[in-house]
Amino acid sequence: MIVELPDTTAAKVSRALVDLRSEGGAVALGRVLTLVISTVSGEEEAVIRAANEASREHPMRVVAIVREPGGQEGDARLDAQIRVGGDAGASEVIVLRAVGPAGSDEEGLVTGLLLPDAPVVAWWPGADVPAVVAESPLGRIAQRRITDAASHRDPRAALDHLAGSYRPGDTDLAWTRLTHWRAVLAAALDQPPYEPVERVEVSGAIGSPSTELLAAWLQLALQVPVSVVLSDRSTGSSGIHGVRLHRPGGAIELERAVPDVARLTQPDQPVHDVSLPRRSLRDCLAEELRRLDPDDLYGDVLSRGLAALERDAAPPAMTGGS
pLDDT at site 1: 83
Alpha-carbon torsion angle 179, 182, 184, 190, nearest 10: -140
Please tell me which residue, 115 or 20, carries the higher pLDDT value.
115
pLDDT at site 29: 53
Please determine, for residue 17, whether its predicted confidence score (pLDDT) is greater than 90: no
Report pLDDT digits (tens) over 79-115.
999 998 776 666 789 999 998 777 778 998 999 999 9
Length of the chain: 322
| 144 close to 122: Cβ distance less than 8 angstroms | yes
Average pLDDT over residues 161-190: 96
Rg (CA), the chain: 22
Q: How far apart are CA 243 and CA 49, in angstroms?
A: 33
Confidence of residue 119 (pLDDT cuts 50, 70, 90): very high
pLDDT at site 263: 96
Nearest alpha carbon to residue 224 among 202, 260, 200: 200
Write a three-state SS string for the chain: CEEEECCCCHHHHHHHHHHHHHHHCCCCCCCCEEEEEEEECCCHHHHHHHHHHHCCCCCEEEEEEEEECCCCHHHCEEEEEEECHHHCCCCEEEEEEEEHHHHCCHHHHHHHHCCCCCCEEEECCCCCCCCCHHHCHHHHCCCEEEECHHHCCCHHHHHHHHHHHCCCCEEEHHHHCCHHHHHHHHHHHCCCCCCCCCEEEEEEECCCHHHHHHHHHHHHHHCCCEEEEEECCCCCCCCEEEEEEECCCCCEEEEEEECCEEEEECCCCCCEEEECCCCCHHHHHHHHHCCCCCCHHHHHHHHHHHHHCEEEECCCCCCCCC
pLDDT at site 317: 38
% of the chain beyond a pLDDT of 70: 89
The pLDDT mean for the chain works out to 88
pLDDT at site 180: 96
Residue type for position 2: I
pLDDT at site 159: 95
Report pLDDT digits (tens) over 270-310.
999 999 998 999 999 999 999 899 999 999 999 999 988 86
Peptide bond into 193 cis (omega under 30): yes
pLDDT at site 315: 40
Please determine, for residue 320, whether its predicted confidence score (pLDDT) is greater than 50: no
Nearest alpha carbon to residue 244 among 232, 223, 269, 227: 227
Which of 1-5, 180-184, 192-196 is predicted most confidently?
A: 180-184
Q: How far apart are CA 22 and CA 62, in angstroms?
A: 20
Report pLDDT digits (tens) over 194-219.
999 999 999 999 889 999 999 999 99
pLDDT at site 257: 85
Confidence of residue 7 (pLDDT cuts 50, 70, 90): very high
Residues near 196 by beta carbon (within 8 Å), at least 6 away in sequence = 247, 248
Count Cα neighbours of 101 within 13 Å in the Cβ-side half-sphere.
5
Q: How far apart are CA 227 and CA 219, in angstroms?
A: 9
Confidence of residue 311 (pLDDT cuts 50, 70, 90): low
Domain boundaries, the chain: 2-147, 179-313
Report the CATH architecture of 2-147. Answer: 3-Layer(aba) Sandwich (3.40)
Please tell me which residue, 74 or 70, carries the higher pLDDT value.
70
Average pLDDT over residues 264-275: 94
